[in-house]
Amino acid sequence: MWATDSDAGLQAAKIARYQDLFSTRREAGFLSRAGDPAAGYRRLLEGFRRAEAARAAGEAWGDDLVDRYVRALDAYAWRYRILRKRSAGGASAAPDSRVA
């Protein structure tokens, strides 16, 4: 079966979203190694917000992208000792723009 123009456009959009995730993670790493881990965390938060917007827009891969950003934020916060706000139940709340 041949892909239609709309299928190709959807694939290109999906690839662009995941490339954005990878480049955002790389940029956050560069910022932390340059001595500004808070700026790297903020960069990841910007990407997280883009992923949330994609999910809200109904993009099929939006949930997966949001989950990947949450994992990236958690790993980054752990590695660079940037704490996230805790909810009343003790579980991590949604990513917070305030950083240590």
Mean pLDDT, 10 residues at a time, over the chain (100 residues)? 58 88 96 96 97 94 95 95 64 50
pLDDT at residue 87 in the model? 58
pLDDT at residue 60 in the model? 85
Q: Is residue 66 part of a domain?
A: yes
90 phi and psi, to 5 degrees? 95, -10
Tell me, what DSSP letter sits at residue 97?
S
Into how many domains does the chain fold?
1
Q: Is residue 54 part of a domain?
A: yes
92 phi and psi, to 5 degrees? -60, 135
Q: Is residue 29 part of a domain?
A: yes
Q: pTM of the full predicted structure?
A: 0.74
pLDDT at residue 84 in the model? 57
Strand partners, 86: 92
Q: Which of helix, strand or coil describes residue 80?
A: coil
Q: Is residue 72 part of a domain?
A: yes
Residue 78 near residue 71, CB atoms below 8 Å: no
Q: Is residue 94 part of a domain?
A: no
pLDDT at residue 12 in the model? 85
pLDDT at residue 100 in the model? 44
Residue-range definition of the domain harbouring residue 57: 5-79
pLDDT at residue 62 in the model? 93
